[in-house]
């Protein structure tokens, strides 16, 4: 049973009974516990990698060199909506952001490029979404995340680059490089046992 089915079932029970029954309360509590961070309905279209390569003006391996920063641009995530308990969808707001990357290797495009500005989007607000489309931000100081990516990009008229084929949600156009994940923390030595003294 998916989220939208549960929402419709709750709505139907409320309409039929007029007053929530213990079963209705149980369903509502189940929905809140499982989907309380707000569920998302919609589709993120993924294409074969060859289509990303064909569409791209630039294919690089690059690492984030500065923290993502906001721009004044605002929009909605296309083909997505925040699913409400009555079964309807409300738009998911997004904000335009920029991240500077250092180019490590160029597979397609300008071989002399050393840095690029990625134009992408983040969720506009503090809400968290279950099954929401990936709208990542980057911070090279965060040692718990990977910072090196294979990037399929298209050049925008203002000179920035955007993910190829992905309008807002990033699907396959920004891929973490294997082996770039942070190493696990070193094992901690066992805690020393306290000294024991026995009186005669």
Within-domain flag for 196? no
Coil/strand/helix, residue 65: coil
- How many domains is the chain built from? 2
Q: Are residues 103 and 86 both part of a single domain?
A: yes
Residue 54 and residue 124 in one domain? yes
Q: Which domain holds residue 10?
A: 3-36
52 in the same domain as 23 = no
pLDDT at 64 over 90: yes
pLDDT, residue 91, reads 84
**Which of 79 and 22 is assigned the larger pLDDT?**
79
CA distance 135 to 87: 24
pLDDT at 144 over 90: no
Distances from the Cα of 192 to the Cα of 143, 186, 187, 197, angstroms: 30, 18, 15, 15
> Is a pLDDT exceeding 80 seen at residue 177?
yes
The share of the chain scoring above pLDDT 70, in percent, equals 60
140 is a domain residue: yes
Do residue 84 and residue 141 come from a single domain? yes
Same domain, 95 and 12: no
Mean pLDDT for 102-120 is 95
Q: Give the pLDDT of residue 8.
A: 55
Say whether both 66 and 145 belong to one domain: yes
Do the domain assignments include residue 21?
Answer: yes
Contact present, 103 and 116 (Cβ < 8 Å) = yes
Range of 5-14, 73-82, 93-102, 185-194 with top mean pLDDT: 93-102
């Amino acid at each position: 049973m998916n989220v939208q089915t549960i929402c419709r079932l709750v709505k139907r029970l409320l309409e039929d009974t007029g007053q929530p029954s213990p079963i209705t309360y149980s369903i509502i509590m189940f929905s809140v516990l499982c989907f309380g961070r707000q569920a998302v309905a919609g589709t993120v279209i993924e294409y074969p990698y060859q289509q990303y390569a064909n569409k791209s003006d630039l294919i690089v391996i690059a690492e984030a060199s500065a923290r993502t920063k906001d721009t004044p641009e605002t929009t909605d995530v296309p083909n997505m909506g925040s699913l409400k308990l009555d079964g309807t969808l409300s738009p998911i707001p997004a904000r335009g952001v920029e991240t500077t990357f250092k180019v490590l290797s160029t597979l397609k495009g300008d071989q002399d490029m050393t840095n690029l500005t990625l134009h992408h989007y983040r969720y506009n607000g503090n809400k968290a979404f279950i099954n929401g489309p990936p709208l990542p931000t980057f911070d090279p100081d965060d040692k718990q995340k990977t910072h090196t990516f294979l990037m399929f990009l298209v050049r925008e008229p203002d000179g920035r680059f955007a993910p190829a084929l992905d309008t807002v949600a990033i699907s396959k156009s920004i891929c973490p490089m294997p082996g770039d994940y942070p190493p696990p923390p070193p094992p901690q030595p066992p805690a020393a046992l306290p000294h024991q003294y026995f009186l005669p």
